[in-house]
Structure 1
Amino acid sequence: MPPVIPGFGHHRIPVADGVSLHAAVGGSGAPVVLLHGFPQTHLMWRHVAVDLAADHTVICPDLRGYGASDKPAESDGSGYAKRTMAADIVALARALGHERFALAGHDRGALVAFRAALDHPGAVTHLACLDILPTLDMWDVMHGVTAAVGFHLYLLAQPPGLPERMISAAPDTFFGHFLDIWTTDRGAVPDEVRAAYLAACREAVPSIVADYRASAGVDIEHDRADREAGRRLRMPVAVLQQDWGAALGFDAAALWRAWAPDLRHTTVSHGHFMAEEAPDDIAKALRELLAR
């Protein structure tokens, strides 16, 4: 039996024409939506979700193109734009009865959460982003040999065909590579969860590539338009991330503060998969954000 989040029910919710998302939902109280990263599914929140469900309604979807959610074929380059994926999440929350909700995301899910908070400020009450920079800033700081840490960003940005074929030739090796190198605690992702992640990724190569490809194109356009228009995040924002600034030579807090006037930025010592490595710390940080 595949792993699940204990005590959570499972729902399949239509969010757009022909697209439904799978979501695990549990608890009761003010709603909190938790968005997963790469190469994971909603299961990455299994510990934090149970903690928050003691006094919140917690919604953990699989993003469009990931896990048990639908994986529509990309057609015009906008199907996996973060704007499209963010609209999915707002529609999902509304379908479950929540016009306003707190939103936390990790990795790819944090990019979706960032876009949702910019596009739908009336819906997102609080925002937490784990271990990312906004897309426009991310590309700006990648340079020289230090950018090798993000080699996959460049591979997955290539035109349709090549990256899909390369990854499909050895998907477990490709996706497993990141599960291995992005953690400081190998026990944080147990074998059964790792197997679930890899199985989900094997079924989602084209949509995962489309998600990343959008971040080298349309997502940059959307971020740049917002920056030029002076748009900012209106809600309280918490950012937790590794010290990428020290490695790549930038001030992460300053980059975030340009987007988020009400910001608490924290540098952590955990690995990239911090919600699995240090769930108590992440749950505590989210509770502190929700209290603001």
Structure 2
Amino acid sequence: MPISSAVDGFRLAYDRYGTPSPACPAVVLLHGWPGDRSDHTEVAALLAGRFDVVVPDLRGFGESDKHRQDPCRYYDRAAQARSIAGLVEELGISRLVVAGYDVGSRVAQHLAKTRPDLVRALVVTPPAPGVGRRIAAPKPMEEFWYQWFHQLELAEELVDGNPDAARAYLRHFWTRWSGPEFALDPQRLEHLASAYGRPGAFAASISWYRAGGGSVASALAEVAPDPAERLAVPTSFLWPERDPLFPVEWSDRLGDFFGDVSVEPVGGVGHFVPVEAPETFARAVREAAEAHGA
């Protein structure tokens, strides 16, 4: 398992698939919460024959560094994107296809906005901008309660350093947010329970929410940019039709935030698209690379 050099004192653990070569297009795959870089194992295997595939654990997740520092400075989307930029620059790759879901989607979008020199195309799932105050309606709030819970010290007291509590907590989300045909592999659940159950691991993972990275805070604070300031990097959204967090109708304002964006509904699939439908996710990455010069 390689480890990157530190950015802001954080080193990233990552896996690399395929044969690194200047002639081999590069892909970076970013995971979500509550997951880690193993979310993309099947996607990476499907892409490795043609691409140089880099799959990191984000700051505070998996085997990457975890520090108890100000979340707003060290765990927000800008900080996470700095670490990804530092990793790919260290590896000597650029003009990437960056693909991610959940937290990884937010980080990918921020990386494309702030470092368009590194990113040729995005393939992402929700969350997405354009939701606005719709997120505060009663039905969405039935799902997003955990983002307030993560602000409480009680969350750490109940879950951090307790693999059994982590297992039960994570099982809830992987079961509730996935599609009707998906069943989480017991070995994968044990892997995640072990990863999130180590002392300090759960607390680090929820630093993302304590930094304001959650969808509720993001949606309520969003302001559509001027047309000239819309994200110019070509962006493909894979929008799962069975995701209880982000209904497909919330894709209606993407054009207010992106200059070149498309939406592909993914039938029968819930929130965890790379895990539930790895072939669909990998195919979208290949198509983005082909369409945008990789």
TM-score bin (small chain): 0.7 to 0.9
1:194 aligns with 2:186: no
Q: Which residue does 1:261 correspond to in 2?
A: 259
Q: Which residue does 1:145 correspond to in 2?
A: 138
1:113 is paired with a residue of what secondary structure? Answer: helix
AA paired with 1:237? T
Mapped contact 1:141–1:250 kept (Cα < 8 A) = no
1:177 is paired with a residue of what secondary structure? Answer: helix
Mapped contact 1:100–1:122 kept (Cα < 8 A) = yes
Change over 3 Å in CA distance of 1:91–1:120 after alignment to 2:
same
Change over 3 Å in CA distance of 1:172–1:118 after alignment to 2:
same
Q: Which residue does 1:7 correspond to in 2?
A: none
Q: Which residue does 1:32 correspond to in 2?
A: 27
Q: TM-score by structure 2 length? A: 0.85
Alpha-carbon distance between aligned partners in 1 of 2:223 and 2:272, rounded to the nearest angstrom? 31
Alpha-carbon distance between aligned partners in 2 of 1:214 and 1:224, rounded to the nearest angstrom? 15
Alpha-carbon distance between aligned partners in 1 of 2:105 and 2:88, rounded to the nearest angstrom? 16
Aligned residues: 278
1:88 aligns with 2:83: yes
AA paired with 2:113? L
Q: Which residue does 1:241 correspond to in 2?
A: 239
Mapped contact 1:183–1:272 kept (Cα < 8 A) = yes
AA paired with 1:212? Y
Of 281-290 and 168-177, the range deviating more from structure 2: 168-177
| Identical-pair percentage | 26
2:5 is paired with a residue of what secondary structure? Answer: strand
Change over 3 Å in CA distance of 1:76–1:183 after alignment to 2:
closer
Q: 1:164 aligns with which of 153, 156, 162?
A: 156
AA paired with 1:141? R
AA paired with 1:145? P
Query: What does residue range 28-177 of structure 1 map to in structure 2 within 5 Å?
Result: 28=19, 29-75=24-70, 77-134=72-129, 137-138=130-131, 140-147=133-140, 148-156=142-150, 158=151, 161-168=153-160, 170-177=165-172
> Once the two structures are superposed, what CA deviation does each residue of 1:130-173 show, in whole Å capped at 9, x if it has no partner?
23223xx45632123202112212222x2x52332243372221
AA paired with 1:50? A
> What residue ranges of structure 2 are gaps of 5+ in the alignment?
none
Deviation of the 1:73 alpha carbon: 1.1
Change over 3 Å in CA distance of 1:78–1:186 after alignment to 2:
farther
Mapped contact 2:106–2:127 kept (Cα < 8 A) = yes
Mapped contact 1:245–1:251 kept (Cα < 8 A) = no
Deviation of the 1:226 alpha carbon: 7.7
> What residue ranges of structure 1 are gaps of 5+ in the alignment?
1-9
1:118 is paired with a residue of what secondary structure? Answer: helix
> Once the two structures are superposed, what CA deviation does each residue of 1:191-241 show, in whole Å capped at 9, x if it has no partner?
222211121112311111211121258x849x7578369522212110012
Change over 3 Å in CA distance of 1:200–1:246 after alignment to 2:
closer
Q: How big is the alpha-carbon RMSD for the aligned residues of Structure 1 and Structure 2?
A: 2.7
